A and B are shown apart, each in its own frame.
Chain A
Amino acid sequence: MAFLWHQISSAVSLIVHGDPYLMGLLWVTVRLALVSTVSALIIGLPLGAALGLGRFRGRRLCQVLANASLALPPVVVGVVLLIFILPQGPLGSLRIEFTLRAMYVAQTILALPYVVALTAAAIQGLPPGVVEQARALGASRIQLGVLALREAKVGVMAAIIAAVTSTISEVGAVIIVGGNVQGQTESLASALLAEFTFTPNDPRETATALILLVLVLLLVGALTVLQQRTGQLRLRFREG
């Protein structure tokens, strides 16, 4: 028990003193979460609204694809993207291999399914009538989309939190395209993966885990409060 206590107390003192290495990891993680969530929202919200409202052909298939892409393994996304951005690859001229930019791209791809699938599901779960009424009153497509997103704002918020949580905890893709360069492309989660095996018993690793834990607790707490406040928004299975 003394070992654990020592690890945790020295980790806490590192955090309190603002260890520059830890602050660097936190900064990379926050930037990664912000940039990739915002890009995923810009691309994903219109797609999710179209999928939730649209009456076009192949909508059902698109929805199945969106749901299926939630299960995309991060390492697969990472390897395929890496092959494209390596210097000799088709996107090699962008020179983004082993940079934060490549991590933004990878994480946006991984966060996108959450935004699209959960937004579409939230819009489909709206009580019938609101959207139909607006349609009957002659609202344009864009007006309809904005209305539906506003009405389904709780579901959309949940989608955003799911996207942020995935950007913070996923590690397989970013570690592959980012190369885990210390002080540049190392995030909290990827630092845990890369450093724990090499420098065990270093309080910096325990401190990294503690910071990540606090971040995740904040996000999950926000989601829980959101669920309680809105009278039980639930992610649930429904037959029929």
Chain B
Amino acid sequence: MQTVINEFRVAFPLIWHGDPYLMQIIGFTLQVMLIATSVAAVIGIPIGLALGLGRFRGRQFLRVLANASLGLPPALVGAALFLLWAVPAPLGSLGLLSTRRGVFIAQTILALPYTVALTAAAVEGLPDGLLVQARALGANRLQVALLAMREARVGIMAAVIAAMGTSLSEVAAIAIVGGNIYGYNQTLASATLYEVNAANYPMALAIAMVLLAMILVLMGGFALLQHQSGGLRLRFRTAS
């Protein structure tokens, strides 16, 4: 037990004293989280609303696809992007491998299924009468969508928080396309991996603790949201 305590004892001062490398990683991680989440929200929430509200053909199929993409392994997304972005490949001329921009794009792609699928689920979970009534009273599509968004705001916030969570903790995709370059395009998660490989355990532990603290803050925000809305719950439901 002594050694574990010692590791922590070396790790914590790195956080308190604001180790510049650590601060740089925290800054980049926040940048990745903000960019990926906001792009994924701007693209994903309208798609989620359309999937949840729409009455077009193939809607069911697209819903299944959106849910399925939640299970996509990040390593696979990273590998696919790598193949597309490699120099001889179709998108090779964009020069996105080993850049910060490549990391932003990869993380946005990973966050997108969360905003789409969870927004659609939140909208579908609304009580039946409301939207039917609005439609009957002559609301146009945009008005119905805005109404649904307001009513399902807690679920949509949960979707955004889930997207933030993945952009914080995912590591495989960004390490593959970004190359995990020291002090340049490392997030907390990929830097942890880097420091472990370098056998620099106190630093790895310090980075992991900061990551855990950020996730806890997010979860705390989510719990508060649940509490305020009177028990929103993520649960399985077997309907008829």
Contacts and interface: CB of A to CB of B under 8 A. Distances in A.
Contacts of B180: 197
Nearest to A3: B88
Contacts of A171: 73-75, 171-172
A182 interface: no
Contacts of A88: 3
Contact count band on B: 35 or more
A237 B236 contact: no
Contacts of B67: 224, 235
A196 B78 contact: yes
B238 interface: yes
19 contacts: A68-B219, A73-B168, A78-B192, A79-B192, A82-B201, A88-B3, A122-B236, A169-B74, A169-B75, A171-B73, A171-B172, A172-B193, A189-B75, A189-B172, A193-B171, A209-B79, A236-B235, A239-B125, A239-B231
Interface string B200-217: 010011001101100100
A207 B121 CA distance: 35
A125 B196 CA distance: 42
A71 interface: yes
A168 interface: yes
A138 interface: no
Given A71-B169, A237-B122, A125 B235 contact: yes
A240 interface: yes
Given A83-B201, A236-B124, A3 B192 contact: no
A213 interface: yes
A71 B219 contact: yes
Interface in A141-186: 154-155, 158, 165, 168-172, 175-176
A90 interface: yes
B236 A234 contact: yes
A90 B7 CA distance: 12
Interface of A: 1, 3-4, 7, 64, 67-68, 71-76, 78-80, 82-84, 86, 88-90, 118, 121-122, 124-125, 154-155, 158, 165, 168-172, 175-176, 188-190, 192-193, 196-197, 200-201, 205-206, 208-209, 212-213, 216, 219-220, 223-224, 230-240
Interface string B1-42: 101100100000000000000000000000000000000000
Contacts of B80: 209
A231 B231 CA distance: 26
Contacts of A188: 75
Given A75-B171, A175-B193, A200-B86, A216 B236 contact: no
Contacts of B152: 237
A7 B83 contact: yes
Nearest to A119: B236
B233 interface: yes
Main secondary structure of the interface of A (DSSP, over half): helix
A191 to B, nearest CB: 9
Contact of A89 (B3, B122, B205, B219): B3
B215 A71 contact: yes
Given A73-B215, A196-B82, A231-B239, 6 more contacts: A79-B204, A86-B201, A196-B176, A219-B71, A232-B238, A237-B152
B235 A172 contact: no
Given A4-B83, A75-B211, A79-B208, A239 B237 contact: no
B73 A79 contact: no
Nearest to A67: B234
Contacts of B72: 169, 216
